[in-house]
Structure 1
Amino acid sequence: MDHGEYCKALFREIDRLAALLPDTDLTTPVPSCPAWDLGKLGGHVGATERWVTAMITSGSTEKLPFAEFEENIPTEATALSDWVAAGVDGLISALVAAPAHQQVWTLGGTTRPTAFWARRMLHEAAVHRTDAALALNVPASVDPVVARDGIEEILTILPYAPRLAGFGAVRGDGQSIELVATDVDARWRIDIGAASFAWRPTAAGQEPVEATVTATATVSNLYLFLWGRPAVPQIAGDSSLLARWSATTAF
């Protein structure tokens, strides 16, 4: 996916999320985010839209305080839906207008081109739109193109996630996880070392090396599984390794 495709897909995901919120009870629990109800989920997404927009438009290379963007969040369902939908307009305008070379703060305190946020916000929106759908008991899946990209995005950003200070729980010596998609020609290998992990896509037609554990599912379910959402793949091999990975890395 290129920058324009990320922006278009981001708009679609926010539009789908916003469409779930009107005429709902915002106190409905979100099982995949146990501390949240639908009101908190919508508020988080809308605040994050505005936080990232401010980061981009200001060209900030320092992390802006998030709390100020959580003020004055609408508490009525239709108003919250409209607020979330309006936030993506400013965000995409900022992403499109920003110079390609502009560097801003990103995860881990690293400065990167603003295009980083188009991809990151797409997957933020896709996962939380799925959370809202699960809370409302409506079908929840992710477009295969988005899911395929998202698997690689989460594997890329995991080392920068502040909550992973305990990543030692899945450190090992030569252990490996293979992710196999059933509906697209794609698979990924995660090799776990003593101090870190490395991942790579397995090329089409390449003979795979036997992994410690293999997880097989649709690409959408693999994506949701990596995000700690209820999508259980078919597992072959050492399931305890996959359980430790999930327990340590799920957001």
Structure 2
Amino acid sequence: MLDHAERVAAARSAIDYIYGRTEQEQAVPVPNCPGWTVYNAASHIGRVGIAWEEMITSSPDDPESRARGYERSGRQPAGTPKAELAAWAHSAIDHLVDDPDRQCYFSMTGGEGTARLWAWHAASELGMHRLDVESALGHEHSMTPVHSMTPVQALDAADYTCRFFLQAMRRVLERDPGRLTARLVDAGSEVGSEVGSEVGSVNIEPLPESALPVAVVVEGPPIQVLLGLWGRPHTGIEVTAGDPEVWEHWRTLPSEAFQFGTWD
């Protein structure tokens, strides 16, 4: 797993990659996010940076900070230059480096969080949007410039996705698809592993009150598993045990629960 400094670096790397695209690249549609261009993805990241900063700098018992943050972001003019959007995004990350254990409001749980937890969130979500843009532009999926970290970062982001992101999605929809186990298998030797060795696995347990007997086990390359967990197009994932419908129900959860508009 990544440590706090590596997560901060991964978040900044994703920001720099997305805002480093040319004017021509900014106009390219992003199929993973219907209705978006690369510029819309950049606008989304900049604007949520404003909302994140409001929450990151607010106390855990201030649930209104989320509404304030998104109200502030919504007041920004359309067509904001990408340099300004990047500054908004980096400004939020700046607040994660003073004291990782500083308590603050965290949107995924609707309450108590820390700067350390926000860094995990930022590395995971911004890393996912980097994958979205890489897919749109036909670039190799790297997640970070250091390719030796790719499987580890994908595992770290997938673990966050299962522990917090998808939990929030099922709370919004009041739906529990069942037990999920996802095994991330590295097909190469990027981290010195043998071909086909398991990088790690992530799990989602049924809610206590549901006690659903349905379960599924899936297996695939680290980045592809991460894409699948976020409901993105993916390849190479196999259902190795259990009910395939459970996997499909989890995959559809993010888009059903919440989808940002294009803003610009």
Q: Normalising by structure 1, what TM-score?
A: 0.78
Distance change >3 Å, CA 227–CA 114, structure 1 → 2: same
Q: Is the 8 A contact 1:147 1:219 kept in 2?
A: yes
Which amino acid is 1:248 matched to?
Answer: L
Which amino acid is 1:145 matched to?
Answer: V
Q: Is the 8 A contact 1:108 1:162 kept in 2?
A: no
Structure 2: how far apart are the matches of 1:57 and 1:244?
35
After superposition, give the CA deviation of every residue in 1:136-173 in whole Å (9 maximum; x if it has no partner). Answer: 232334322211111111111122237741424x24xx
Match of 1:223 in 2: 226
- Of residues 185-194 and 112-121 in structure 1, the stretch that sits farther from structure 2 once superposed is 185-194
After superposition, give the CA deviation of every residue in 1:66-90 in whole Å (9 maximum; x if it has no partner). Answer: 03213435627xx31x234323432
After superposition, give the CA deviation of every residue in 1:103-126 in whole Å (9 maximum; x if it has no partner). Answer: 324324212122221111111211
Q: Is the 8 A contact 1:177 1:191 kept in 2?
A: yes
Q: Is the 8 A contact 1:179 1:222 kept in 2?
A: yes
Q: Is the 8 A contact 1:107 1:160 kept in 2?
A: yes
Distance change >3 Å, CA 212–CA 136, structure 1 → 2: same
**Does residue 1:246 correspond to 2:254, yes or no?**
no
Structure 1: how far apart are the matches of 2:14 and 2:211?
30
Q: Is the 8 A contact 1:7 1:92 kept in 2?
A: yes
Which amino acid is 1:167 matched to?
Answer: R
After superposition, give the CA deviation of every residue in 1:6-59 in whole Å (9 maximum; x if it has no partner). Answer: 111111111112123x22254432211113232321111001112212322354
**Does residue 1:30 correspond to 2:40, yes or no?**
no
**Does residue 1:145 correspond to 2:152, yes or no?**
yes
Which amino acid is 2:206 matched to?
Answer: I
Match of 2:191 in 1: none
**Does residue 1:188 correspond to 2:195, yes or no?**
no
Which amino acid is 2:160 matched to?
Answer: E
Distance change >3 Å, CA 108–CA 181, structure 1 → 2: closer
Structure 2: how far apart are the matches of 1:54 and 1:189?
31
3-state SS, counterpart of residue 66 of structure 1:
helix
Structure 2: how far apart are the matches of 1:141 and 1:195?
40
Distance change >3 Å, CA 51–CA 234, structure 1 → 2: same
**Does residue 1:236 correspond to 2:244, yes or no?**
no
Structure 1: how far apart are the matches of 2:211 and 2:111?
19
- Of residues 180-189 and 146-155 in structure 1, the stretch that sits farther from structure 2 once superposed is 180-189
Distance change >3 Å, CA 225–CA 197, structure 1 → 2: farther
Which amino acid is 2:138 matched to?
Answer: N
Q: Is the 8 A contact 2:152 2:199 kept in 1?
A: no
Q: Normalising by structure 2, what TM-score?
A: 0.74
Q: Which runs of 5+ in 1 are unaligned?
A: 199-210
3-state SS, counterpart of residue 96 of structure 1:
coil
Distance change >3 Å, CA 222–CA 186, structure 1 → 2: same
Considering only aligned residues, what root-mean-square deviation do their CA atoms show, in Å? 2.9
What displacement does 1:181 show? Answer: 1.8
Distance change >3 Å, CA 99–CA 155, structure 1 → 2: closer
Match of 1:75 in 2: 79
Structure 2: how far apart are the matches of 1:120 and 1:225?
18
**Does residue 1:66 correspond to 2:70, yes or no?**
yes
Moved over 4 A (4+): none
Distance change >3 Å, CA 197–CA 56, structure 1 → 2: farther
Q: Is the 8 A contact 1:74 1:83 kept in 2?
A: no
Q: Is the 8 A contact 2:27 2:39 kept in 1?
A: yes
Which amino acid is 1:219 matched to?
Answer: P
